[in-house]
Amino acid sequence: MIIAKQKRKTHIVEYLLYMWQIEDLIRAYQMDPDRIEKELINQYDVSSEQQQEIRDWYHEIIESMKNEQIVEAGHLQFLVLLADDLNDFHFRLVDSPLHSDYRKIYEQAVYNISDFRKKMGQKEKINDVEVCLSVLYGVMLMRMKQQTISAETLEAINSIRDLMAALSQKYRDFEEGHLEV
């Protein structure tokens, strides 16, 4: 909760990836609040009041996941909507004559996004931001498992990482009222 709040304010892409990780972590703990309490929440070195906030936060996420029937897979609806909004913002930047710097970064990544979309084998066309998030999340999981990533793949991932970093910065600037689209 503490990390999520900070990431939401500073880096929207990291926030989404973090929340995807929280969803998977909750699934790994089989949505068991007692186990989450014992193995996660009790590890925080915070006041009892803050610990209760964290506990409530995890419980809310668990209940939302159950209510939205994403116990085994999928993402919370508010995260899906946020990613969709971010994708709309992304294309507003791409189409805006005010943001040629962003368009240039996008042009360096667009072929890699398309290639990853094909490799994902999605029947429905998923949007650019969702592809990028899925790629970055997959890389994070591969690194956690200490799996090897080819140099060619790393190069493609770097273009996506650069795009998502630029998008996050522009989104933050926009939310703070420092950017027009």
Task: Kindly indicate the confidence band of residue 125, based on its pLDDT and cuts at 50, 70 and 90.
Answer: confident
More confident residue, 166 or 3: 166
Range of the domain at 27: 2-67
One domain for residues 57 and 13: yes
**123 pLDDT above the threshold of 60:** no
One domain for residues 134 and 86: yes
One domain for residues 48 and 84: no
One domain for residues 87 and 109: yes
pLDDT tens-place string over residues 23-55? 999 999 999 999 999 999 888 889 999 999 999
- Looking at residue 135, its pLDDT comes to 97
One domain for residues 159 and 83: yes
- Looking at residue 1, its pLDDT comes to 78
Instruction: Give the domain-ending residue among 15, 43, 67.
Output: 67
**Is 181 domain-assigned?**
no
One domain for residues 7 and 39: yes
CA-CA distance, 31 to 69, in Å (whole number)? 12
CA-CA distance, 44 to 51, in Å (whole number)? 7
Contact predicate 29/71, CB 8 Å: no
- Looking at residue 121, its pLDDT comes to 83
- Mean of per-residue pLDDT scores for the chain: 94
How many structural domains are present in the chain? 2
**Is 180 domain-assigned?**
no
One domain for residues 123 and 36: no
Which of 12, 4, 33, 30 is CA-nearest to residue 163? 12
**Is 21 domain-assigned?**
yes
- Looking at residue 102, its pLDDT comes to 98
Contact predicate 58/97, CB 8 Å: no
**124 pLDDT above the threshold of 80:** no
One domain for residues 30 and 51: yes
Task: Kindly indicate the confidence band of residue 169, based on its pLDDT and cuts at 50, 70 and 90.
Answer: very high
pLDDT tens-place string over residues 68-102? 999 999 999 999 999 999 999 999 999 999 999 99
